[in-house]
Amino acid sequence: MTDVEWILHVDLDQFLAAVEMARHPELRGKPVVVGGKGDPTQRGVVATASYEAREFGVHSGMPLRTAQRACPDAVFLPADNPTYEEVSERVMAVLRELPVVVEVVGWDEAFLGTDTDDPEALARRVREVVRERTGLECSVGIGDNKLRAKTATGFAKPGGVHRITEREWMPAMAHRPPDALWGIGGRTTKKLAELGISTVGALAAADRDVLAARFGPTMGPFFRVLAHGWGDRDVTAMPYVPKSRSRETTFQQNLTDRADLDEAVAELARRVAADVVAEGRPAARVAVKVRFAPFVTQTRSTTLSAPTSAADQLERAALEALGRFDLDRPVRLLGVRAEFEPPAEGGADGHG
């Protein structure tokens, strides 16, 4: 782990769609939607949309059917996770050849730590080598901490370079809504609006006690910290290690019978258990996601008495978590996630 002069955030543009276009060049310039089984007549959600599809309002998390209505001419493709993982590993290997510390935080993004005197030149070099070696485009944000670097990437997209430091933070962010901040979503933004806080600048000036009363003693003041652009400067050169393994399925017909739900969760849990065994690390917690019709999603979880990879124990924990839901509405999606123990001090961190 190191404290560096500059932090670069590298984000592969429209990653999944870009991988598909690289192996299917005839798709370039067309609206491409990746997600589910690639069939918009079936249930599933958008994993990634190309920029051409985004112009029609298609975005990640949108139901495939809605995406097709928004963009009838889009090309729909099934997600191919093994290929995306392989391409991601190639990109990260290229980044590690540069004079930087590389912290991988997902398939399509990484933080780079560097003491260069010219971060823009390095960022342009990053874009160049990634394009030359992998054929993919990326955007690079430059900052004096991780939050500002990642925020800068949003200004750099697509295919650009942008810098935000403490000096540029408020001029760039003060007038923007709170969900422009990394870590604040739409629901929190609505709750902030109820307090009369509708911009990052207003959040930065908000009273800590008021925020703590509304969002809790930890998260409330933390939102104010985000609004000021304060954040972590440590970049850790460790391999990407998933925090969890998960499986989910969207049903073509809503499930209403409890026995059917139990059977589906048990099957998902067994598949997750196989993933856990392959990962070589025991799970410490099991979570179940239920999406009720039409589109309300809830999650419940169970902490295991001891970390395990045993399929029967993970299945039992998943069924216990399912039992914590009020299953009084039709179910359109179920998911099971096994969460690993946090790494030991000095270990790797990542996203599952």
The domain segmentation of the chain, as residue ranges, is 1-173, 181-229, 244-340
Which pLDDT band, with edges at 50, 70 and 90, does 192 fall under?
very high
Write the class of the CATH domain 244-340. alpha beta
Q: Does 109 qualify as catalytic in the annotation?
A: yes
Task: List residues bridging with 285 in a β-sheet.
Answer: 303, 339
pLDDT of residue 244: 86
pLDDT digits (tens, 9 = 90+) for 249-273: 888 788 999 999 999 999 999 999 9
* 75-79, 85-89, 343-347, range with the lowest pLDDT: 343-347
The Cα 20–Cα 7 span in angstroms is 30
Give residue 184's Cα distance to chain centre: 13
Per-residue pLDDT at 240: 65
Q: Is residue 285 packed enough to be buried (19+ CB in 10 Å), middle (13-18) or exposed (0-12)? A: middle
Angle, nearest 10°, between helix axes 208-215 and 186-194? 120
Q: Which residue of the set 20, 109, 315, 339 is catalytic?
A: 109
| Residue 343, strand partner residues | none
Least confidently predicted of 153-162, 187-196, 231-240: 231-240
Q: Give yes or no for residue 345 having a pLDDT over 70.
A: no
Whether the bond between 294 and the residue before it is cis, its omega within 30 degrees of 0, is: yes
pLDDT in tens, 42-59: 888 899 999 999 999 999
**Options 3.30.2040.10, 2.20.25.90, 2.60.120.10, 3.30.70.270; CATH of 1-173:** 3.30.70.270
How far apart (Å, rounded) are the C-alpha atoms in residues 75 and 170? 40
**pLDDT the model gives residue 81:** 84
Note whether 4 and 101 are within 8 A (CB): yes
For residues 291-313, give the mean pLDDT: 89
- Mean pLDDT of the 162-181 span: 96
The reply to whether omega before 158 is within 30° of 0 (cis) is yes
Please compute, for residue 212, the number of CA atoms within 13 A of its CA located in the half-sphere on the CB side: 6
pLDDT tens-digit series, residues 303-327: 999 999 999 999 999 999 999 999 9
pLDDT of res. 236: 85
pLDDT given at position 349: 34
The CATH fold assigned to 181-229 is DNA polymerase; domain 1 (1.10.150)
What 3-state DSSP class applies to 55? coil
Helix (H, G, I), strand (E, B) or coil at 329: coil
In this model, does residue 6 exceed pLDDT 60? yes
SS (H, E, C) 200-223: HHHHHCCCHHHHHHHHCCCHHHHH
Average pLDDT, the chain: 90
Query: What's the rounded Cα separation, in Å, for the pair 180 and 176?
Result: 6
Residue pLDDT, tens place only, 66-83: 999 999 999 999 988 888
Tell me the pLDDT band of 344, cut-offs 50, 70 and 90.
low
What's the pTM?
0.72
